[in-house]
């Protein structure tokens, strides 16, 4: 069995469980941290100065899984690397620290070994997510105004990988700005 669908975890109505102690892991609520899937948070040319910023901003409160965030990151960065070489700086602002839990159940004939119903239904760690509030900037690209069409196209490709509703905001700066 693979991952549960994103709709199982996108709501922010559940309490936040990030209680993991590195010094005393046996006293933690969560015994083992799942591995993180987002590997790079700053891409492109580090220290790049540009006058145009294209940002992805959340329209609603949503919880974004780290594997969908990584898929959006690779889609956007691949499009920018192939079309704009060393003429951008791309940054992700959110960090997936929220631990997602799963209460495993087996269905079907003869599945009587794993079930305990809702007795001790805290669940085991199944992944990580980042909690995003409405109006928060998720990722942004700094570049020159001549690349605006390519960057907005890359952001549209990234939105398809994420769950929730997002806006693409374009900000022009009178003097060059650096995000990294």
Burial (CB count <10 Å: 0-12, 13-18, 19+), residue 15: exposed
Kind and range of the H or E run holding 55: strand 50-58
- Give which of 176, 179, 180 is closest to 52, Cα–Cα: 176
d(CA 174, CA 52): 9
Q: Calculate ∠ Cα 85-65-63, nearest 5°.
A: 115
Given a cut of 70, the residues of the chain with pLDDT beneath it are: 1, 17-22, 25, 28-31, 107-116, 180
What pLDDT, on a 0 to 100 scale, did the predictor assign at position 119? 75
pLDDT digits (tens, 9 = 90+) for 35-55: 888 989 999 988 888 899 999
Domains of the chain: 41-95+130-177 (3.90.1170.10)
What pLDDT, on a 0 to 100 scale, did the predictor assign at position 122? 74
pTM of the shown model? 0.83
């Amino acid at each position: 069995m693979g991952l549960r669908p994103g709709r199982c975890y996108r709501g922010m109505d559940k309490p936040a469980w990030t209680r993991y102690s590195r010094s005393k892991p046996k006293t933690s609520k969560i015994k083992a941290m799942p591995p993180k899937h987002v590997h790079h948070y700053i891409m492109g040319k580090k220290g790049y100065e540009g006058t145009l910023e294209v940002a992805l901003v959340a329209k609603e409160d949503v919880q974004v899984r780290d594997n969908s965030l990584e898929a959006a990151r690779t889609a956007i960065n691949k499009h920018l690397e192939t079309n704009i070489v060393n003429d951008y700086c791309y940054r992700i602002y959110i960090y997936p620290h929220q631990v997602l839990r799963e209460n495993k159940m087996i269905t079907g004939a003869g599945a009587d070994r794993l079930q305990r119903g809702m007795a001790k239904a805290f669940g085991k760690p199944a992944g990580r997510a980042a909690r995003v509030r409405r109006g928060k900037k998720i990722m942004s690209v700094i570049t020159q105004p001549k690349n605006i069409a390519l960057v907005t196209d890359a952001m549209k490709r990234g939105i398809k990988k994420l769950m929730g509703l997002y806006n693409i905001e374009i900000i022009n700066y009178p003097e060059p700005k650096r995000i990294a």
